[in-house]
Amino acid sequence: MKRKRSVQWVIMPTALFADDDCGVCGMNMVAPYRLNPSEGEASDMVTEGDTVTIQFYPKTKRLGVSHYYCGWGALIRSIMDLHDRL
């Protein structure tokens, strides 16, 4: 990552970030979380997540940690925001 300039997305095991909170939903990385926060169905709970999405910001040398599905949801949200602006 030494020569990278843009944000890099990496998938890593959840066990490495068990004590951290998700940057998108705010829940602990090993706690069950809702797949779709807008719906309240209990069947939407994800209980086993073996991977997390890491966003590495080279300019500030910081990490953004999120659940796998939360990371994809945030990416899709940013794409839709860009679509609305265009």
Close Cβ partners of 38 (under 8 Å, ≥ 6 residues apart)? none
Q: Are 35 and 46 a contacting pair, CB within 8 Å? A: yes
Tokens of 72: 């994809």
Q: Chunked in runs of 10, what are the mean pLDDT values of the chain (86 residues)? A: 80 86 85 65 59 87 86 84 89
pLDDT in the model for residue 59 = 87
For the chain, give every domain's residue range.
8-85
pLDDT in the model for residue 52 = 85
Q: Answer positive or negative: Cα dihedral of 62, 20, 17, 73.
A: negative
The pTM for the full model equals: 0.68
